Structure 1
Amino acid sequence: MKKFGSSALDRRTFLTGVATAGLAAVTTSAFAQQTDIGEILAAPRRGNWDDQFDARSTTRAKVAGFQPIASPETVSFTESAINTYSQIVANGGWPTVQPTVKLQLGVVDPSVPAMRKRLMISGDLAETAGLSNSFDTYVDAAVKRFQSRHGLPADGVMGQYSIAAMNVSADIRLGQLHTNLERLHKLASEDQGPRYVMVNIPAAQIEAVEAGRVAQRHTAIVGKIDRQTPILDSKIQEVILNPYWTAPKSIIQKDIIPLMRKDPTYLTRNKIRLFNEQTREEIAPETIDWNTDDAMKLMFRQDPGKINAMSSTKINFPNQYAVYMHDTPQQGIFNKLMRFDSSGCVRVQNVRDLNVWLLRDTPGWDRQTMEATIKTGVNTPIAVTNPVPLHFVYVSAWSTGDGVVHLRDDIYEMDGQAALSIGTNT
């Protein structure tokens, strides 16, 4: 997997150029303040938003729908979007938005007409709304629709990331659509089967698809830039209720050992026990020299329970990257603006709903039985009777028809344009 770090300055320069002066970047939590395993695994605090909000335009369809990304319809609609964006580029693209105040409902500012024009060209605002200086309810609805299409907080407020996304040029967006059309063609050409799960990494979103329609859609947390979630194909074979959590070597080295140097009670407080990997003999934390990396030779295993890093569920599937999907005790992280903060695994919002869907054909595992088992706190592995195909994919641009073009931050810089890595630096 490609890793990044040297492009941080370019992304910061890009954001500085397109964002309004005076709009402060959202701050992240300091590592020094992280005192338990939940805070290590949680995303930085970068703002709250409702991922399920369906922004509505005055003239166009809802942004959310039941069409899977991996479908011939998505390919066809994306090809139509490319035709539309090609015409936009041929006509000179769209204007940039350079506000001097925070643009939101009720504001009157000379920069609003340019934003109105921008939203009209992209199909978010009806041309009949006109080009006045007023940020009225029509503009508010259009901005929310734009934000929802870009995976941004659909709050109608033009903050740093909304401005940055709006000022990506039409020709760069066209190139992004072309790049992702190739990915969509590949996905649509493969037989996914009657039921499958698809994790779209740039969208930080999960689709559980059945009979050609999205049966469930879940918000996700995926890998950081330097701990990326891999692209893979596998089958979900096991759901573990009340799982043990075994810390990856990267977290042991980068997070846990430094914390033990500061707080020797950290492991005990978080119910993490040490074991010899060969003999499985339990090792007392006080016998380890935490000023060295000797602990890297040991297994760090957290007992099941409410503070367990995977909380109620671990979803297993064979893969060479040792990644999995899981629950989390910190549900608030799914409301964060930037959801690229795991160590490569995928955290699933409302994972119990997904459990029920995955275990539908597994005898004896209805919702009531699952909930009762979770309450016991007993580690319970469940073999999925009919393993469900699973795909981790990278699609940052697609269309679901009727002018709805979805565009996401190219978080891992796989699209070839630095300007598309909008939110990777805060």
Structure 2
Amino acid sequence: MIFSLKRTAALSITVLAASLAFDAPANAQGLFDTLFGGGRVQRMQREEFPPPPRAERRVPQPKRTATPAAVAKITGPSYYTYKADPLVRVDFGALSKSAQPVSFELSLGGTSFREGLAGLDGFDLSAEKDIAKALADYYAANPDYIWVSGATANARAQDAVRVLGEAPTHGLDAADYAVTVPATGYSLDDMAARQRELMRFEMTLSARVLRYVRDAQNGRVDPNRISGYHDFPAKPLDMVNVLKTLAHTGEVRSYMESWHPQNAEYQALRVELESLEASSENDIVVDPKLFLRPGQSSPELPKLLQLIARDYPDDIGQYSEVITRLGASEAYVDELVPVIKMAQEKVGLKPDGVIGPRTVGELAGTSKADRVDKVLFALEQMRWLPSNLGSPRVFINQPAFTASYIDGDTEKLKMRVVIGRPTNQTSFFYDEIEQVDYNPYWGVPQSIIVNEMLPRLRRDPGYLDRSGYEVTDSKGRKIPSSSINWGQYGAKIPYSVRQTPSEANALGELKILFPNKHAIYMHDTPQKSLFDRDSRAFSHGCVRLKDPRGMAAAVLDTTVDHIAQKLKQGHSSERVTRKIPVYVAYFTAWPEMNGKVEYFGDVYDRDAHLKTALEKTEAVRTPSIRQVSQADTEF
């Protein structure tokens, strides 16, 4: 049977109009307050919602409990107080007991690992717990030097120390990996002291190399400790095997560098970091948080006008007299509004004449210091993702409000998206696309049922029946909403609620699924006007697509015509037969396909949380590097 959207005529016109403003949320706050009551909308309900028919009002209501269950709320994710990995003292006790002589260099000036073990007595080497354990385990089973030959640091050690010294090119702090290298000259009269120095160098370098490798693969911070919005799988690392490989390879540099992300985006960010560090500071810096409407004033306005006059000389002809006369004015008068609108249009923004962070960011850019920070954060975040991002893939960058379909080196599709509002943030994670649902049902999350539906259901248990929703019990049986005593439930409701397919459905005509615990997916939306805005954080957490048919066709490797035909056939699903990773990412600095890095506003203020986590990590690591000097890492 051909599916017909005309069946929505049975829906309340008022409910249909309100539903158009919402999508299927990951975390819900305010949706049903807006639809059915709460605050300002309660007044709208009283004044605008027509009362139910008299016959409907006579429907018997379920018996109320004497004492209703307490009103409950299901809370969404939160930000945590970050706790960095503590350092522990490396226990060399087992090493000293189990080590057996492996090699003796009895020639003049020679030394052996066994003879050098005495140098560990009283040695206070601190490292992360897993690194400390790996050191003890490796050397107990392999009691021999990796970084020492004869009585000097060997070529393998030289390569390792040089790589550690280049850590800043990857956005890392060289001080975290600093090692005191034994001088090439030493006294034959005090070989015991030389052996002690070499043994301590051996252990310190191994500890710092392991830290470097771990940081390169996983990042310096654990993103899942930052907030509940961060969700990344662990990346196992066999550190004992790392040391085994280093003990036998002649390619120390390439091996150590192989642990960094191996993709073009990471390399583009490294190039950007190098370019920024070599550049001078912006000569005109405008407050990135400036927000100015016509009629208001700010000392930042003359700076912005100066930038427009400098950067768009060919476009200000008709406004040159105004800029000359009012260029030093702090008052945003009506005569200056067309100048700002012209500049907004030139940089691809909606020419509304309102000066906000997006306008400032596009016209003035961000300061050098801010851009450096954003790139450093992006390099760290890249380590949370797979080294190989995969192809094809879908990449959603929340601060940019865009989603792209990328195949090989080609961005075949790019579109605007709407993401979660700051109170209902979209999470940062990656997954794999599984299917496309046509004319979808919307399964209402428990958080919405509890937080937003339940208060209304306690007053009006039948409103779901009237509004195009189905209620089912734990066995999948449909239950009239009006027959349930909602007052007896708090945070745990034994029913499921879903909205049937229709033009009023919050998901629009299709959704693209990559099942995850956050209940986030990509989907259509009836509310198209939001895509025209520059800042598009309006959803409850899911990602609304401006061109859902195009994205569906891309992931299914088919045509838009095929998608259109499927939509005509009613509710159905189609599996994605290829492996397509999807990144629901959050980067305030991100390279375009041509390698040019673009910068975006921090819509959820997550960079600040990441900065705090990095600072706490550095604070913990500082005591372990006090004994070494950056200058001592040079050969």
Shorter chain as denominator, the TM-score bin is 0.5 to 0.7
Residues 1:114 and 2:114 are matched in the alignment:
no
Share of identical aligned residues, percent?
A: 23
Specify whether residues 102 and 224 from structure 1 end up closer, same or farther in structure 2 by C-alpha distance, changes over 3 A only. Answer: closer
2:370 to 172, 194, 199: 172
Residues 1:302 and 2:499 are matched in the alignment:
yes
Specify whether residues 293 and 183 from structure 1 end up closer, same or farther in structure 2 by C-alpha distance, changes over 3 A only. Answer: same
Q: Which has the higher helix share?
A: 2
1:280 to 476, 495, 498: 476
CA contact (8 A) 2:291 2:354 kept: no
CA contact (8 A) 1:230 1:392 kept: yes
Cα deviation code 1:170-193 (max 9, x no counterpart)? 533432233224335776x82233
Specify whether residues 356 and 265 from structure 1 end up closer, same or farther in structure 2 by C-alpha distance, changes over 3 A only. Answer: same
CA contact (8 A) 1:177 1:397 kept: yes
2:547 to 341, 350, 365: 350
Specify whether residues 88 and 250 from structure 1 end up closer, same or farther in structure 2 by C-alpha distance, changes over 3 A only. Answer: farther
Cα deviation code 1:249-292 (max 9, x no counterpart)? 1111222223445665542343101000x211111111223445
Matched residue SS, 1:356: helix
Distance in 1, Cα, partners of 2:292 & 2:391: 52
Matched residue SS, 2:412: strand
In the TM superposition, what are the counterparts of 1:213-224 in structure 2 within 5 Å? 213-224=410-421
Matched residue SS, 1:283: coil
CA contact (8 A) 1:198 1:393 kept: yes
Partner of 1:229 in structure 2?
426
- How many angstroms does 1:241 deviate by? 0.8
Q: Count residues with an aligned counterpart.
A: 345
Partner of 1:37 in structure 2?
19
Distance in 1, Cα, partners of 2:407 & 2:462: 47
Partner of 1:102 in structure 2?
294
Matched residue SS, 1:176: helix
Specify whether residues 119 and 417 from structure 1 end up closer, same or farther in structure 2 by C-alpha distance, changes over 3 A only. Answer: farther
- TM-score, scaled to structure 1: 0.66
Task: Mark the runs of 5 or more structure 1 residues left unpaired by the alignment.
Answer: 1-32, 46-69, 419-426
CA contact (8 A) 1:327 1:347 kept: yes
- How many angstroms does 1:390 deviate by? 1.0
CA contact (8 A) 1:271 1:303 kept: yes
Task: Mark the runs of 5 or more structure 2 residues left unpaired by the alignment.
Answer: 1-14, 25-29, 35-261, 328-335, 611-635
Instruction: Tell me which moved more, 283-292 or 161-170.
Output: 161-170
Partner of 2:568 in structure 1?
375
- How many angstroms does 1:350 deviate by? 1.3
Distance in 1, Cα, partners of 2:482 & 2:587: 47
Distance in 1, Cα, partners of 2:441 & 2:591: 40
Instruction: Tell me which moved more, 229-238 or 285-294.
Output: 285-294
Residues 1:397 and 2:594 are matched in the alignment:
no
CA contact (8 A) 1:35 1:259 kept: no
Matched residue SS, 1:215: strand
Matched residue SS, 2:403: strand
Residues 1:413 and 2:413 are matched in the alignment:
no
Letter in 2 for 1:384: V
- How many angstroms does 1:300 deviate by? 0.2
Specify whether residues 186 and 281 from structure 1 end up closer, same or farther in structure 2 by C-alpha distance, changes over 3 A only. Answer: closer
Distance in 2, Cα, partners of 1:309 & 1:303: 10
Residues 1:385 and 2:577 are matched in the alignment:
yes
- How many angstroms does 1:333 deviate by? 2.7
Cα deviation code 1:100-138 (max 9, x no counterpart)? 97399xxxx9976422444589xx546998983455988
Cα deviation code 1:147-185 (max 9, x no counterpart)? x4xxxx431724344577569755334322332243357
Partner of 1:49 in structure 2?
none
CA contact (8 A) 1:399 1:406 kept: yes
Distance in 2, Cα, partners of 1:180 & 1:409: 13
Matched residue SS, 1:371: helix
Cα deviation code 1:50-79 (max 9, x no counterpart)? xxxxxxxxxxxxxxxxxxxx9626743674
RMSD across aligned C-alpha pairs, in angstroms? 4.3
1:322 to 513, 519, 523: 519
Q: Which has the higher strand share?
A: 1
- How many angstroms does 1:408 deviate by? 2.1
- TM-score, scaled to structure 2: 0.46
CA contact (8 A) 2:437 2:571 kept: yes
Matched residue SS, 1:329: coil
CA contact (8 A) 1:74 1:398 kept: no
